[in-house]
Structure 1
């Protein structure tokens, strides 16, 4: 079995390629919008991407599920849990608690773990070449290294009213019934690391185990004492502000981001064309130089989004394509 983590430092986001090397079949879990890394990895290992899935409707980045399926012909699998309000608006085989995706000798089993979102799935991974029992858990935004997914985003990003309390109680039950019932040796691979706003104290380690979290996670004493009230209060206290674009990402990912396909090289504008576009208010200029250089001298009205550090996150704050439909021009060296 192959299990590879592809990590986006900007978004502190992890996606996973799981494959049966004997059959050459692979599934990608939680792909990001830029699907080239998955295609390159599959080519390197001689794999066919036959399935694409995601743990939940993401708020912090645009999903690449539809894009990758279109590029490879892979079957899309989506959560069918969470009730009518959380059903995806695009085609895909619906997965419910206990459903499986098989790739040769490798089996992914869907586990409904609501709380961060109502439809959230985790995936138990069994390498049938070695064991009949699962050895790995792709936990999405349910369990992180040292932390848990925040349950308040429906309030913060989508205008919900006090859904955070039910979400926190759902996470408590998901831990009790789905996570802590697993053997200690099960290795846990989360969808985010340190720097993500999907929790308040995410660790930087790429993985953890059920046993380690059972012993040392901040929430472990609350579960051991069956103290749901204390758990809810602690989980909700001190969550960071949700990024301004989270609501937009939720809406677009639920409906399904548009498939872009192969993209042409960017055009380079002449200074004259840029000046005419700006004077006519027909362009949005994004200045990707370091902040100090932008402050020292910049085009009036330009947006400062320095690269490479957190450019996608900053860009999501600064530019909203739902309200600004003008073409974007990057000022870069």
Structure 2
């Protein structure tokens, strides 16, 4: 049997290839939208892609099931009542799929969504005993799937479903079973996931805090408290996955835009995402652009800041980075990408067009401001949990997600304000957002609280 986990860095998305080289066939489980990895494995290992299995309708990334079906003719398999509008082969509890030495037994495990599946996998060359389980989003390494994404009206039933799936159905499975989830660290489908990509059922029973409850009432109380923030992109992604994502060949063509064309796109309402680092953006950037620096986790932040139906143009460091950005944005359903600024910021500057700056305070400068009393308002955009670990004296806490949704209460357009986060990444997102919203006197703390403390400065903590 052939088995491989495919990882999308930053987003924490896992997909799987299960096949049998002797039989010359393979299945892809929970495929990402960019499918070249699966095509490469198919060619290299001599296995035709015959099965596409979805454990559920995903909320955080667009599925590659339509791309794979278009390229390979493979059949899509989903839970029998899945709310999708495209053809698929229904799966139910007890169904079995076999590809040579690879056997896949289907379990219905609702909880993250009402129509979730898990897949017990056996390597018949070794034993008929299941070797591993693909748990989708019902069980992660270190956490379990959030139950709130299908709406508040059914959350109580979802939590009850989770209990049945995790404590009753999985409770009948052996400790040695290896666990391979659909997501890991970086995904917003849970909130305490490990960086490790797999585990065992026995270890999760011993160490996963969400598998430690002795009764349903306590489990229900824990599962109906706070959840990770829901990005703007999630609703759009769910709808794309329910109706079948458009094929990538139908998306806008790649365009290297000169400054005239770039400015014309801006005047038509396109959103400018500047993917350069904080220091480069701070030195000079296009007025109205949003700084979301290029890093593996940036997809989550694009999903927080930019509307899914927005026309997007990019400031990137060349055509290779533009191609990478296209892939990242397509993964979360942002398909209206209309080009990148050829020549980068140098081309924009040399065309004589206006630029803005986003001042970057050093920790030493901020410390001197604190002593001198000439301090602007300090806005800390970290999470509640980060804030409780310590904050700079005199700062105001407005979590980035709240700032993006509601702004900063009481902040006036002519009032200087310094924004900080943990490392300077989120503060540049927040500050560029505020600049775009009409607050020209904002700045960012370079290096964030990490740099502040490494410079020998102290933080305060609230006494409970």
Tell me the TM-score normalised to structure 2 length. 0.65
Aligned partner of 1:289 in structure 2 is 276
Please give the alpha-carbon distance, in whole angstroms, between the structure 1 residues aligned to 2:43 and 2:190. Answer: 34
Please give the alpha-carbon distance, in whole angstroms, between the structure 1 residues aligned to 2:132 and 2:337. Answer: 44
Q: 1:116 aligns with which of 101, 112, 128?
A: 112
Question: Is 1:106 matched up with 2:102?
Answer: yes
Please give the alpha-carbon distance, in whole angstroms, between the structure 1 residues aligned to 2:110 and 2:56. Answer: 10
- Deviation of 1:33 (Å): 1.0
Structure number with greater CO (CA < 8 Å, separation at least 6) is 1
Please give the alpha-carbon distance, in whole angstroms, between the structure 2 residues aligned to 1:75 and 1:233. Answer: 40
Contact kept? 2:232, 2:308, Cα under 8 Å: no
How many residues get paired? 320
- Deviation of 1:235 (Å): 2.7
Q: Deviations over 1:277-320 (max 9, x none)?
A: 33x42644322111332233221222323213323222222332
Aligned partner of 2:244 in structure 1 is 256
Please give the alpha-carbon distance, in whole angstroms, between the structure 2 residues aligned to 1:264 and 1:164. Answer: 38
Aligned partner of 1:93 in structure 2 is 89
1:76-155 matches, cutoff 5 A? 76-81=76-81, 86-155=82-151
- Deviation of 1:324 (Å): 4.7
Please give the alpha-carbon distance, in whole angstroms, between the structure 1 residues aligned to 2:307 and 2:66. Answer: 22
Question: Is 1:11 matched up with 2:21?
Answer: no
Q: 2:203 aligns with which of 192, 198, 212?
A: 212
Contact kept? 1:288, 1:331, Cα under 8 Å: no
Contact kept? 1:291, 1:304, Cα under 8 Å: yes
1:63/1:291 CA distance change after superposition, 3 Å: same
Question: Is 1:269 matched up with 2:265?
Answer: no
Contact kept? 1:287, 1:331, Cα under 8 Å: no
Aligned partner of 1:245 in structure 2 is 233
Contact kept? 2:109, 2:118, Cα under 8 Å: yes
Please give the alpha-carbon distance, in whole angstroms, between the structure 2 residues aligned to 1:282 and 1:238. Answer: 35
Aligned partner of 1:330 in structure 2 is 340
Please give the alpha-carbon distance, in whole angstroms, between the structure 2 residues aligned to 1:148 and 1:282. Answer: 40
Contact kept? 2:254, 2:339, Cα under 8 Å: no
- Deviation of 1:35 (Å): 0.8
Question: Is 1:201 matched up with 2:197?
Answer: no
Contact kept? 2:259, 2:341, Cα under 8 Å: no
Query: SS of 1:148's equivalent?
Result: coil
- Deviation of 1:323 (Å): 5.3
Please give the alpha-carbon distance, in whole angstroms, between the structure 2 residues aligned to 1:79 and 1:317. Answer: 30
- Deviation of 1:32 (Å): 0.8
- Deviation of 1:275 (Å): 2.7
Aligned partner of 1:320 in structure 2 is 307
Aligned partner of 2:170 in structure 1 is 179
Query: SS of 1:192's equivalent?
Result: coil
Contact kept? 2:253, 2:338, Cα under 8 Å: no
Please give the alpha-carbon distance, in whole angstroms, between the structure 2 residues aligned to 1:201 and 1:120. Answer: 20
- Deviation of 1:146 (Å): 1.6
Contact kept? 1:284, 1:329, Cα under 8 Å: no
* 5+ long unaligned stretches in structure 1: none
Please give the alpha-carbon distance, in whole angstroms, between the structure 2 residues aligned to 1:265 and 1:102. Answer: 40
Query: SS of 2:256's equivalent?
Result: coil
- Deviation of 1:189 (Å): 0.2
Query: SS of 1:258's equivalent?
Result: coil
Larger radius of gyration: 2
Please give the alpha-carbon distance, in whole angstroms, between the structure 1 residues aligned to 2:71 and 2:268. Answer: 36
Contact kept? 1:10, 1:311, Cα under 8 Å: yes
1:290/1:331 CA distance change after superposition, 3 Å: farther
RMSD value over aligned CA atoms? Answer: 2.1
Query: SS of 1:114's equivalent?
Result: coil
1:327/1:239 CA distance change after superposition, 3 Å: closer
Please give the alpha-carbon distance, in whole angstroms, between the structure 2 residues aligned to 1:328 and 1:291. Answer: 24
Query: SS of 2:257's equivalent?
Result: coil
1:322/1:282 CA distance change after superposition, 3 Å: closer
